[in-house]
Amino acid sequence: MNDKTRHSAFNPASREADFAAQPTPTAQTEHPAYRLAFQDNDFLLREELRPVRFQLELLKPELLLSEAGISSTFVFYGSARIPSPEQVDELRASATTPERKKVVERLVAKARYYEEARKLAYLASCVDCRLGGPRDYVVCSGGGPSIMEAANRGAHEAGAPSVGLNIVLPHEQLPNAYVTPGLSFQFHYFALRKLHFLMRARAVAVFPGGFGTLDELFELLTLVQTTKMAPVPILLFGREFWNRVVNFDALAEEGVIAPEDPGIFHFVETADEAWRYVSDFAEQASNADG
């Protein structure tokens, strides 16, 4: 039940806030101490208020996602630097040294993952939603460019809503144009953003990426390995890339992970292959519950 349907004998905070924001000017009312605590940005941004800001970043997306009827999400991780097919020529033209040209060609070779992310998001977004009921496999990305844009774009092309979880960075990163406006969130704390990525996750697709992608992937693997999180399909796109940047077999051979731990994730190359795996995983879980 939300504020629109719940009866309360008390005046709503919004009404009181409007009144309090326009006090009769006096020495007392014009001093910051007189401001309502929740309208006093200087107060809310104090170091001592960090626990309150944590709670706000937990509650705001949680409430809005619940009100939007989002039951589960399909999370997409991946690089912000992989070009879309439309950007390939421009990226190549920007390379002015032999060393940069080599790097650019590696990025260009990964442009196909933009299309695979877009297609997978489209497939997930076409899952029938119960009329008036909760939505499953709602696409959720970091809200930025490249792989993130591709995910939100695929959902948009399917006529479905999608989530974007942006983070404040030194250089402003605007949400991509395909994120549903009412489901576009901005975070200060990485920890709370990570929490929201996984709270509703029913499947996770991980495309080639850098530090941020690796950070998200290894936290997810750790949560499943330690049973802090129930197993979900974890799809690593591009076996060649992942085996080059992370030697999973060596970790098992060194004894620092269990031999069965690499089974937590699954390598795929295409959206169709990924969606079959997710569908099979869901069917097996349903049969086990039944």
As a CATH number, domain 57-289 is 3.40.50.450
Compute the average pLDDT of residues 148-174: 93
pLDDT tens-place string over residues 91-122? 999 999 999 999 999 999 999 999 999 999 99
For the chain, the average pLDDT equals 92
DSSP string, 42-63: HHHTSGGGHHHHHHHHHHHHHH
Compute the average pLDDT of residues 27-44: 91
pLDDT tens-place string over residues 44-93? 999 999 999 999 999 999 999 999 999 999 999 999 999 999 999 999 99
118 closest CA partner among 92, 88, 97, 141 = 141
Mean pLDDT lowest among 2-11, 164-173, 191-200, 212-221: 2-11
Specify the higher pLDDT residue, 1 or 49: 49
- For the chain, the structural domain boundaries read 57-289
pLDDT of residue 91: 92
pLDDT tens-place string over residues 256-287? 999 999 999 999 999 999 999 999 999 998 88
Of the ranges 16-25, 165-174, 202-211, which is most confident?
Answer: 202-211
pLDDT tens-place string over residues 187-214? 999 999 999 999 999 999 999 999 999 9
- Indicate left, alpha or beta for 132 from its phi (over 0: left) and psi (-120 to 50: alpha): left
**Which residues contact residue 186 at a Cβ distance below 8 angstroms, ignoring those fewer than 6 apart?**
166, 167, 168
